[in-house]
Amino acid sequence: MSVPKFAIDLVMAFLILLLTYALSGEGLWGAALMFFNVVFGGLIAFNFYEPLAKLIDSTGIGWGFSDTLSLLSIFCVAVMILRMTTETLAPAMVRFPVPIYHAGRLFFALATSLVTLSILVLAFHTAPVHKKIFGAIDYKYKPPFGMGLDHQWLGFFQYATGGIFAHYGSGTRDPYGEYGRSGNQRVPVRVFDPRATWLLNHQEARPYGQAPILTEESGSADAAASGGSGSSGATAGGQRGRPGTKGASGSGSPAF
Task: Say which residue, 170 or 69, is predicted with more confidence.
Answer: 69
Mean pLDDT within 17-30: 93
Intra-chain end-to-end CA distance of the chain, in Å: 39
Q: Is 244 within a domain?
A: no
Cα–Cα distance measured from residue 221 to residue 216, given in angstroms and rounded to the nearest whole number: 11
Q: Is 182 within a domain?
A: yes
Average pLDDT of the residues of the chain: 80
90-146 pLDDT, tens per residue?
Answer: 877 788 899 999 999 999 999 999 999 999 999 999 988 888 888 788 888 888 888
In this structure, are residues 75 and 119 in contact, taking their beta carbons and an 8 Å threshold?
A: yes
In this structure, are residues 79 and 41 in contact, taking their beta carbons and an 8 Å threshold?
A: yes
- What range does the domain containing 180 cover? 5-229
Q: Is 250 within a domain?
A: no
3-state helix, strand, coil in the chain (%, to 5): 55, 5, 40
Q: Is 245 within a domain?
A: no
Q: Is 242 within a domain?
A: no
140 vs 158, 193, 198, 200, 252, CA distance in Å?
Answer: 18, 17, 12, 9, 26
Q: How many CB atoms lie within 10 A of CB 47?
A: 20
Q: Is 92 within a domain?
A: yes
In this structure, are residues 50 and 74 in contact, taking their beta carbons and an 8 Å threshold?
A: no
Q: What is the tally of structural domains in the chain?
A: 1
Q: Is 243 within a domain?
A: no
β-strand partners of 157 = none
Q: Is 238 within a domain?
A: no
Look at residue 234 and tell me whether its pLDDT is greater than 60.
Answer: no
